[in-house]
Amino acid sequence: MKSILCYGDSNTWGCIPLEGQERAGRFPPDTRWPGVLRRELGDGHWIVEEGLSGRTTVWDDPLEPHRNGRKLLLPTLLTHQPLDLVIIMLGTNDLKHRMNASAAEIAAGAGMLADIVSASGCGPDGRAPQTLLVCPPPIAEVDQFDDEFEGGAEKSHRLAEHYAAVAEARSCAFLDAGAFIESSDVDGIHLDEPQHAALGAAIAKHVRPLLA
């Protein structure tokens, strides 16, 4: 049995794109991309969903506490060990204006998470799990979140090049989600059902050779 941890934010949690000020709903397990990944990979694979709305790579959010991905990652790895693969898809919430982080700094934060995985010894026989670093898709400028993501859309289009460099420097696998999916035009941030399906399928294709 191959164990895979999916470590992400609201798009891993499965937040349904928001219309107006409605309360966030959640797609059912089989619709969310980790559920699609489970179905695509088939028997012999265990998927651990660890999505948290508002989670950042390494930043403390003064308005949404307990969302720092760096602080939560190692306890999560220890909880679910042994893990064969850790899939990290974070960075969207780092685009919030109050974080004041550049595209390069956001990618560096994601790299710090990959380093934690590499040093964890939470893989089989005390080895490090493999890491797949996924760059989240670009966001869109919409009125849904007022000025919370002001300037974030332009910055989000520059993430992939920095994430690719971070992954290459660490010799870990990399996937640019923006090459396969787009953020919803409803709120500009979250994924709709077809995008979850496309992302799950793309990640499954990328993961198979890693676990072979």
Q: Output the pLDDT for position 41.
A: 98
Instruction: Label residue 175 exposed, middle or buried (CB < 10 Å: 0-12, 13-18, 19+).
Output: buried
Block means of pLDDT (10 residues each) for the chain, 212 residues, are 97 88 82 98 97 97 95 98 98 95 98 98 97 97 75 95 98 98 93 98 97 92
d(CA 181, CA 183): 7
Domains (ranges, CATH) in the chain?
Answer: 2-211 (3.40.50.1110)
The reported pLDDT for the residue numbered 144 is 64
Spell out the residues 6+ positions from residue 65 whose beta carbon is closer than 8 angstroms to its own.
Answer: none
Q: How far is 190 from 184, CA to CA, in rounded Å?
A: 6
Task: State the Cα–Cα distance between residues 94 and 156, nearest whole angstrom.
Answer: 10
Reported pTM: 0.96
Determine the 3-state secondary structure of 132 from DSSP. strand
Q: To 10 degrees, what angle do helices 33-41 and 193-211 make?
A: 40
Which tokens is 78 given?
């220890």
How many CB atoms sit inside 10 A of residue 212's CB? 5
Beta bridge partners of 2: 45
What is the pLDDT at residue 148? 87
